[in-house]
Amino acid sequence: MNLPNRKALAWGLVGLVPVVCTTAYAQGAVTPEYRWLTFTVFAAIIALTMYVTYVASKRVKSASDFYTAGGGVTGLQNGWAIAGDYLSAASFLGIAGLISQYGYDGFMYSVGWLVAYITVLLVIAEPCRNIGRYTLSDILAYRNNPKAMRIVGALSVITVSTFYLTAQMVGGGVLVKTLIGIDYEVSVIAVGVLMLAYVLFGGMVATTWVQIIKAILLVIASLVLVILVWSPYGFSLPGFLQDVVADPKVQAKVATLIGDPAKTMTAAELGQRFLEPGLYFKAPIDQISLGMALVFGTAGLPHILMRFFTVPTAQQARKSVVWAMAIIGGFYILTLFLGFGAAKFVGPAAIASVDAGGNMAAPLLAQYLGGGANSFLGNFMLAFVSAVAFATIVAVVAGLVLAAASAIAHDLYVGVYHGGDTVPPQQQVRAARIATVIVGAMAITIGIAAKGQNVAHLVALAFAVAASANFPCVLLTLYWKRCNTGGIVLGMIVGTLTAIALVMASPNMTYPKALKAAAQKVVDATPAKLEKLNADLAAAADDEARAKV
C-alpha cells in the first residue's frame, strides 16, 4: 500500500469514528445533550494517533524497523513507551476502582506492579538487550537449540498474548459501552480496527509513539484530577485521609464488607478499617500469591520484553527501565488519591451501581469534579478521561498484537519454516503484516464471542503463564551455564500447563459457579418455604379463631 492511500485510510478511520459511535450509541454515562462533546474528544485523540501512524509508516522499510523500530528509540522515549504499554485500562480504571471499593487492599496491586520493575531492572533488561533481536525466542535460543526454542517460545508468546489480548478486548468493549454507551460489538471492532492500523502500517515505530502519547495523556488526566481532589485540603495527606474515613458513604461500605462485626464498631472504627488490610484479601497467602504473580509475571510478559530490543545499547535499556519505574511509580501514587477521592466524593455504592467492579470510579470522579452530570465541564472531563481510557486499551492491544505477530512471522515463518535462512527484508515485513491481520482478526472474533464472560481469569492466566513458564526459562537461560534445550522445553510446557490447570481450578473460576449454585438452591427452596409459611399462618389463624369461639 502506498503512502497516499495510507494517509487516506488513516483520516478515513478518524472520520468514521463519530459516525459509527453515533449510530451505535445506546445509553452511557454521558447525557444525550453532551454526546457530541464525547465524540469530538474521541475523534481528536484518535486523529492525533493516526497522524503519528502515518508519519511512522514512512520509516518502516525493514524487519528491524517493523519489530523493534530499528533500535533507534532513546532510553527516555522507551521509558515512556514502557509506561504506556504497562499502564493498561486495568491500571487506570481497575486500581482506582479497587481502592474506591476496598481501600488499602486495592492499593496493593499498585505496589506489586511497581516492585515488578525492580526485578526487570536488576536481572532482565540489560542481558536481554545484549543477546536478543526481536522476540522472547531470540533470548531462549541464545544457548539452546534455535529451532526447538522458536517453536516453544512462539507457542508461549501466542498463549500469553491471546489470554491477555482477549481480556483487553472484552474489557475494552465493556468499559467503552459503560462509559459512553457504544454497543459492545462495535466497541470491540473499533478497538481492533484502530489497533490493526497502528501495527499494520507503523509497526513498532507507531506503536511506540502511540504508547508515549497515551502515557502522557494518562499522566496529565490523573494529575488534573488529583490536584482537584487534594487541593481543598491544602495538599495535606493526613487531612485528606481523615476526611475520607469520616465519610458516611465509606463507613457504610466497610460495614457491608465486614458484616456482623460492624454492629459492635463505632463509625470512626469503620472508617479506619478502610485504611487497613483485610477487606479484599482475607488471608496473607492471597497477598503473597498476588505479589509473586505480578512481579514474576511482569518480567515474563512478551510485549514488555520486546521493548528492550528497541533501544540501541544496554545502557539505554537500563535507563529506559529507570524512567519507566519513575513514571509508573508516580502514576500509581496518583491512583491512591483517585480511588480515595472517588470513594469520598462519588461514594462506593454509587460507583458499584454503575459497574460492579468499580471500574467507573475515575470517570465518575472526573465528572463530579467538573460540576456533575448536567454541566459542560463535567461532561468534558468525563469525555477526556473516557477517550484516554480508550486510547489506553488500544495502545496495550497494539503491543500485544505486535508481540504475537512477531512470534508467528519471525520465529515460526522465518526461523522454523525457512530454517533461519536469509529471508529478504520485504518478505519478512510482508509476513509480519499478514500475521498481524491474522492475530487482529482472531482478537476481534474472540472478543465478540466472549461477550458477557468474566475476563478476570484471562488476566490471571496471562500473568500465571508468564510467571511460571517464561520468566524461569529466561532467567535460567541468562544466568545458568548448564541450562539446556530439554530443560527449557520441559519448563515451558510444564509451566504453561500447570499454570492453566491451577487457574482453571482456582476460586476465580469456581467461585462464580458456586455462588450461582447456592443462590439457585435458595430460589428453588423458596416456593416450599412459602407454602409451609402460608400453611403455618393459616393454622395459627384457625387456632386463634377457635380460641375466640
182 bridge partner residues: 25
Q: Is the pLDDT of residue 3 over 80?
A: no
User: pLDDT tens digit string along 49-69?
Assistant: 888 888 888 877 777 778 777
| Structure-model confidence comparison of residues 421 and 438, the more confident one | 438
CA–CA separation, 407 vs 404, rounded Å? 5
Please identify which residue in the block is written with the cell numbers 511482569.
298
Predicted local distance difference test score (pLDDT) of residue 68: 78
> Residues 475, 463, 157, 84: what is their CA dihedral angle, to the nearest 10 degrees?
-100
Q: Quick one: which of 271, 198, 277, 149 has its CA closest to 13?
A: 198
Predicted local distance difference test score (pLDDT) of residue 223: 93
Interval 474-497 mean pLDDT: 89
Please identify which residue in the block is written with the cell numbers 519471525.
410
Predicted local distance difference test score (pLDDT) of residue 19: 37
Amino acid of residue 526: T
User: pLDDT tens digit string along 68-107?
Assistant: 777 788 889 888 988 887 777 667 777 888 888 888 888 8
| Cell numbers at 546, concatenated | 377457635
Predicted local distance difference test score (pLDDT) of residue 21: 40
Q: Is the pLDDT of residue 519 over 70?
A: no
CA–CA separation, 314 vs 300, rounded Å? 18
DSSP 3-state assignment of 479? Answer: helix
Expressed in percent and rounded to 5, the helix, strand and coil fractions of the chain are 85, 0, 15
Interval 381-401 mean pLDDT: 82
User: pLDDT tens digit string along 141-181?
Assistant: 877 888 888 898 888 888 888 888 877 787 777 767 766 67
Q: Is the pLDDT of residue 24 over 80?
A: no
**If you count DSSP H runs as helices and E runs as strands, how many of each does the chain have, helices first?**
25, 0
Predicted local distance difference test score (pLDDT) of residue 454: 54
Q: Is the pLDDT of residue 455 over 70?
A: no
Q: What is the mean pLDDT of the chain?
A: 80
CA–CA separation, 39 vs 16, rounded Å? 11
Q: Considering only 10-24, 58-72, 482-496, which range has the smallest mean pLDDT?
A: 10-24
Predicted local distance difference test score (pLDDT) of residue 224: 92
| Structure-model confidence comparison of residues 393 and 339, the more confident one | 339
Q: Quick one: which of 411, 428, 446 has its CA closest to 155?
A: 411
User: pLDDT tens digit string along 289-316?
Assistant: 878 888 888 888 888 878 888 888 878 8
Q: Is the pLDDT of residue 12 over 70?
A: no
Q: Quick one: which of 437, 485, 388, 533 has its CA closest to 89?
A: 388
Q: Is the pLDDT of residue 549 over 70?
A: no
Q: Is the pLDDT of residue 226 over 90?
A: yes
Give the count of beta carbons closer than 10 Å to the beta carbon of residue 258: 15
Predicted local distance difference test score (pLDDT) of residue 27: 44
Predicted local distance difference test score (pLDDT) of residue 509: 61
Predicted local distance difference test score (pLDDT) of residue 499: 84
pLDDT band at residue 518, thresholds of 50, 70 and 90? low
Q: How far apart are the first and last CA of the chain?
A: 98
| Cell numbers at 289, concatenated | 500469591
Predicted local distance difference test score (pLDDT) of residue 277: 86
Query: Sign of dihedral through CA atoms 481, 485, 486, 490?
Result: positive
In sequence order, what are the residues at sequence separation of 6 or more whose Cβ sits closer than 8 angstroms to the Cβ of residue 493?
152, 469
Q: Is the pLDDT of residue 516 over 70?
A: no
Q: Quick one: which of 62, 80, 359, 200 has its CA closest to 71?
A: 62
CA–CA separation, 336 vs 98, rounded Å? 10
Answer for the pair 182, 24: CB distance below 8 angstroms, yes or no: yes
Predicted local distance difference test score (pLDDT) of residue 353: 81
> 535-546: b or e for each residue (b if 16 or more CB lie within 10 Å)?
eeeeeeeeeeee
Phi/psi at 105 (nearest 5 deg)? -60, -35
CA–CA separation, 538 vs 526, rounded Å? 18
In sequence order, what are the residues at sequence separation of 6 or more whose Cβ sits closer than 8 angstroms to the Cβ of residue 278?
105
Interval 207-217 mean pLDDT: 88
Phi/psi at 182 (nearest 5 deg)? -70, 140
CA–CA separation, 259 vs 249, rounded Å? 16
Please identify which residue in the block is written with the cell numbers 536478543.
132
Give the count of beta carbons closer than 10 Å to the beta carbon of residue 259: 8
Predicted local distance difference test score (pLDDT) of residue 342: 92
pTM value > 0.85: no
